[in-house]
């Protein structure tokens, strides 16, 4: 169940909110809702989720109650347990396929390859579980003695399937005791609606176009169409992911939690280093704190630092998916991070800020092609079409076919809001207007007027979102289906 589906919006969310408000057992209601949310998408793997919860609960207790030598051993067990689950369900097929390719090349027989179905949100809940046990080991977090509370932390539905990746210590206190103010509900609702709009009004229309363009056979793909598809994908993934994070953060706030921010206008960056401080910030933070720094970070020799960076970005690529194109995507980012450290960043700083932005957008855009491509070969074919294509096809593969008013509108909105300029400008205007009206003694009029304006704005956006979500359920047939 995704947040932008009719089932979530018109059934799950109102039911969860009503039960949460009326029930005295808030955590139990939220946990039940979270488990139901997960079971909806994974009716079988809910058992895996419960196993991960129980395993980490017991390992946390073991870590806490042991002497230092044993604690280290328990930590190894805990990390191995979590990574083992992740490896088996997400990577075993890719790993053994790659081994078999080598064995085949060497003329040896192939190993049997299990093909487990990828459980929903496994990368997120495993990473959250690991932060818990590692933080307990490091003494950064207190052990959780209530299974319900730990289960709620690992499975909490607002951030279960797409983040942000929350550390236990960030919400432990609020799991134990929290109150929800009107301001929380208000801010949470607004954030949810903004996230929904990002997903439904910008990402989804672009996604249809991206899907269609990335399906075009390489021989029919013109450079203009390929570039349009790639830029659309850059916008789609940003609005999809950040929209989902916004919805998660908003829902969390409505239930009294404050999740960390996950995106901060990443396309405004001028270097890749800055980009990763603004893109999927909770993942970058996770890799920094639980991998890069333990590996030595940038404290060692430059060679060691570059090796650490390569490892981190290789694993970042793999975290997004088990295939070679994700590895190439991660390594491309790692490579440019190294170039920046080797002097590219200094050189860029001497250029105009537009050149810096163009550099960042070009690198990110090219790497997105590998992220979106079906496989490595497709990614290379697509890039070839972008840079060396000569095709100018007519018919359904022509660029005109994709430039509908709706897509152009979503594209324009995507470009406009990908920078923080527009929201900042609006906020500044509102702030100065309020201050001016307060000075003029008209604050009591200004606030309701702004509230009315906000109501109209949010209602319009929400209405547009809901009609789009409803349209998803429309499945008309030319002839009657029996």
Partner 1 sequence: MNTIPARVISVSRCVVPALLLMCVALPFLFMGRPDIFGADSGENRVPAPLPSIPQSLVDYLKIPKAFDSYVYDNFGMRNLLIEANARLKYGLLGVSFSRKVLVGRNGWLFHNNHRDMLDYSGLGDVSEQDLRRWRIVLEERGDWLKLKHIVFGVAVAPTKQSIYAEFMPAHLGPRSKGSALDRLSAHMAGKSDVVFLDLRSALRAAKTNHQVYFKTDSHWNFHGALAGYEHIARAFPEIFDPQHILDYPDLVAAQGSYRTNLPAMLGMKGTEKTTRFERRDGWLARSIKSDDGDGGLKRRTGITRISEIDDPSLKRGLFIVDSFYGWNSQFFAEHFQRLVAVNRFNYGWKLKDAFPAEIIAAEKPDIVLMQFVEGHLGNCSKPECLASPGIESNPPEVRQARLQRLFAESRQAPGHLQVVEVVRTREPMARVRGGPATEPAWRVVFAGMAAGQHRSGPYLLRIRVEADEELLIRSAFSRKSACLDRQEVTDIQVHAGISELLLCADGLDHNGKTELRVIGNAGAVRFLAAEAVAHPDL
Q: What is the DSSP string of 386-412?
A: HHH------GGGSGGGG--HHHHHHHH
Q: Binding partner 1 by CB under 8 A: which of 25, 406, 425, 432?
A: 406
Q: Binding partner 1 by CB under 8 A: which of 3, 4, 9, 237?
A: 9
Window contacting partner 1 (CB under 8 A); options: 36-44, 103-111, 283-291, 327-335:
36-44
CB 259 within 8 A of CB 251: no
CB 278 within 8 A of CB 241: no
Alpha-carbon distances, residue 329 vs 110, 344, 370, 442, 448 (angstroms): 28, 19, 6, 54, 49
Q: From the CB of 467, what's the least distance to partner 1, in Å?
A: 4
Tokens of 178: 């929290």
Q: Which is nearer to partner 1, 338 or 410 (CB)?
A: 410
Tokens of 260: 């960390």
Q: Binding partner 1 by CB under 8 A: which of 186, 301, 351, 392?
A: 186
Alpha-carbon distances, residue 432 vs 3, 343, 367, 437 (angstroms): 35, 42, 41, 8
Q: From the CB of 423, what's the least distance to partner 1, in Å?
A: 16
Alpha-carbon distances, residue 245 vs 112, 120, 134, 259 (angstroms): 38, 16, 24, 9
Tell me phi and psi for residue 278, to 5 degrees. Answer: -115, -20
- What is the distance between the alpha carbons of residues 360 and 182, in angstroms, rounded to a whole number? 41
Q: Binding partner 1 by CB under 8 A: which of 59, 152, 193, 221?
A: 193
Site for partner 1 (CB under 8 A): how many residues? Answer: 74
Q: Binding partner 1 by CB under 8 A: which of 7, 146, 301, 419?
A: 7
- What is the distance between the alpha carbons of residues 438 and 276, in angstroms, rounded to a whole number? 40
Binding status of residue 40 toward partner 1 by CB under 8 A: yes
Binding status of residue 383 toward partner 1 by CB under 8 A: no
Name residues contacting partner 1, limited to 414-473 (CB under 8 A).
438-439, 441-444, 447-448, 450-451, 454-455, 458-459, 462-464, 466-468, 470-473
320 assigned to active site: yes
Binding status of residue 1 toward partner 1 by CB under 8 A: yes
Binding status of residue 477 toward partner 1 by CB under 8 A: yes
Q: Binding partner 1 by CB under 8 A: which of 404, 421, 428, 432?
A: 404
In the three-class reduction of DSSP (H, G, I as helix; E, B as strand; rest coil), residue 178 is classed as: coil
Window contacting partner 1 (CB under 8 A); options: 23-31, 82-90, 190-198, 260-268:
190-198
- What is the distance between the alpha carbons of residues 127 and 318, in angstroms, rounded to a whole number? 14
Annotated catalytic residue within 320, 333, 357, 474:
320
Q: Binding partner 1 by CB under 8 A: which of 61, 185, 224, 311?
A: 185
Q: Which is nearer to partner 1, 236 or 271 (CB)?
A: 236
Within 10 Å of residue 32's Cβ, how many Cβ atoms?
15
Window contacting partner 1 (CB under 8 A); options: 34-42, 65-73, 344-352, 370-378:
34-42
Q: Which is nearer to partner 1, 295 or 450 (CB)?
A: 450
> Mask 204-233, x = binds partner 1 (CB under 8 A)?
----x-----------x-------------
- What is the distance between the alpha carbons of residues 440 and 479, in angstroms, rounded to a whole number? 65
- Residues annotated as catalytic (active site), given as ranges: 320
């Amino acid at each position: 169940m995704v947040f932008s589906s009719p089932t979530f919006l018109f059934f799950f969310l109102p039911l969860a909110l009503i039960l949460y408000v009326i029930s005295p057992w808030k955590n139990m209601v939220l946990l039940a809702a979270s488990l139901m949310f997960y079971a909806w998408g994974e009716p079988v793997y809910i058992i895996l989720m419960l196993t991960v919860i129980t395993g980490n609960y017991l390992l946390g207790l073991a870590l806490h109650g042991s002497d230092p030598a044993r604690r280290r051993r328990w930590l190894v067990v805990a990390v191995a347990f979590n990574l083992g689950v992740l490896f088996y369900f997400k990577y075993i097929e890719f790993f053994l396929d790659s081994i078999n390719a080598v064995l085949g090349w060497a003329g040896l027989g192939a190993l049997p390859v299990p093909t487990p179905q990828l459980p929903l949100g496994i990368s997120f809940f495993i990473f959250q579980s690991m932060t818990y046990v590692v933080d307990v080991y490091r003494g950064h977090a207190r052990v959780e003695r209530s299974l319900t509370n730990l289960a709620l932390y690992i499975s909490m539905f607002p951030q279960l399937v797409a983040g942000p990746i929350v550390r236990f210590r960030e919400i432990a206190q609020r799991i134990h005791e929290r109150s929800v103010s009107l301001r929380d509900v208000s801010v949470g609702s607004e954030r949810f609606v903004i996230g929904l709009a990002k997903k439904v009004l910008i990402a989804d229309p672009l996604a249809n176009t991206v899907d269609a363009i990335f399906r075009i056979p390489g021989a029919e793909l013109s450079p203009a169409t390929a570039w349009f598809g790639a830029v659309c994908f850059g916008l789609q993934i940003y609005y999809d992911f950040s929209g989902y994070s916004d919805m998660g953060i908003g829902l969390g706030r409505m239930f009294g939690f404050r999740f960390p921010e996950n995106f901060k206008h990443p396309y405004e960056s001028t270097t890749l280093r800055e980009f990763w401080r603004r893109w999927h910030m909770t993942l970058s933070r996770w890799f920094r704190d639980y991998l890069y720094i333990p590996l030595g970070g940038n404290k060692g020799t430059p060679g060691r630092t570059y090796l650490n960076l390569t490892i981190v970005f290789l694993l970042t690529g793999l975290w997004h998916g088990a295939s070679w194109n994700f590895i190439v995507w991660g390594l491309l980012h790692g490579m440019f991070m190294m170039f920046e450290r080797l002097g590219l960043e200094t050189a860029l700083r001497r250029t105009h800020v537009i050149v810096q932005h163009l550099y960042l957008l070009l690198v990110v855009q090219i790497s997105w092609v590998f992220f979106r491509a079906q496989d490595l070969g497709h990614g290379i074919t697509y890039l070839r079409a972008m840079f060396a294509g000569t095709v100018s096809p007519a018919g359904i593969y022509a660029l005109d076919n994709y430039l509908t008013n709706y897509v152009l509108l979503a594209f324009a909105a995507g470009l406009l809001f990908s920078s923080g300029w527009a929201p900042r400008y609006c906020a500044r205007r509102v702030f100065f207007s309020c201050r001016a009206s307060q000075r003029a003694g008209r604050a009591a009029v200004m606030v309701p007027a702004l509230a009315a304006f906000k109501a109209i704005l949010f209602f319009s956006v929400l209405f547009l979102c809901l009609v789009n979500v409803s349209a998803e359920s429309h499945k008309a047939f030319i002839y009657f289906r029996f």
